[in-house]
Structure 1
């Protein structure tokens, strides 16, 4: 690896590198943004292993976006890049509250006093001038994250506005993940049965869909259905910390059937 890095440095030093023009630059920046957000997500919600989160990886993805913003020409339209940075900062700001004693802590149970207010403030400052910018996936996701950041509690979150943001996102591009997240917001706004109706027809591999169904079925009073969905989610979950959380939730449901909200 050391030899490869040395050869790469020599090659770069011997070449005359220029910033690509126009649409080519936009395309390349878009690719870097996608890679950075994938890396951030791998740190924010690891799909496998023992970690609840990998904050260093998410932080490195944020650093990459900052570097990209610093080297772009001043004439480059960077609203989408600013929205991406805001989105990352808002999600990353909750890292200290998402883990307690090595366990995953869902959003309603997080100590909001442990959220990084400096990062939230920076993100909101980035989003303020984008109020009139054209809708984009990064911007709409950042606005959703901002709703959580400014709400004093889960109950005081403007869930109807979040549902509307997801509707805008779906107009830009449909996906099962978006529909899953929208259904969770619908459940918070209009109740678990409405959330289950919104999940109807959603096809998504992995544990997150049955996990969401389990929570909503539990809240709706369908204990057998909730337990079956928890079992399906547990069987599909590759992350040990999330799997342990699902096992605990199933045990709670089996013990007392008390509905408790849950969104990461």
Structure 2
């Protein structure tokens, strides 16, 4: 009897170790998250330099309101760096449903792309759309290197900077974007967010939007919903550093429960079976 009890207790212990410490619903991500960016200058080639590993991991996997969660939408893993002239973003997007390259009359947000939101002085306001705010930017990077697009769709401060550089690497089941975003008069802590746009059936219409946190589905209009990125080692004194802001740690994103994407081979097999 004692032996059976001991085995049962050991079984429960194994289960408790194997199970995640806790699960977090995307709706629980109500606080901004403070990410860290190490100082360093990477090679802009679409390959992840070891320097990036000194910065916070940023998980982009929360589906937006127009997203069919059962479909297995794109998800992303990102890292950042900074130096005296740039913010660097490296993001790998798991996406086994390649769409179509946008045409001249189709907006880049309708196709597979990554959007980077930057509030250079961490204003966090509800009053200015990013494309009307000279201290902030919304920058879109297409999966399709042949089609260069970055910026917002109009506005007095629509993002245009010929100094911006990026590299795209795309395969059947993922794509990588590495960007060097030029910046001046940047503060020690900046507003920051990422968004994925996913065309899942190549019809030039966006099927999913994916964010770090659900509130960021309005990031195009309000810098208040952005997270924050601390530039480690920066001595800048401009910008807004509000000690009253209560942050979550980046690790909370590892426990967010969302549908996982099926392998490309499995998805294709199911499609073929459905057509029979």
- For Structure 1 versus Structure 2, the TM-score category normalised by the shorter chain is under 0.3
Q: TM-score, normalised by structure 2?
A: 0.25
Which one has a larger percent helix, Structure 1 or Structure 2?
A: 1
Give the TM-score normalised by the residue count of structure 1.
0.26
Q: Which has the higher contact order (CA 8 A, sep 6+)?
A: 2
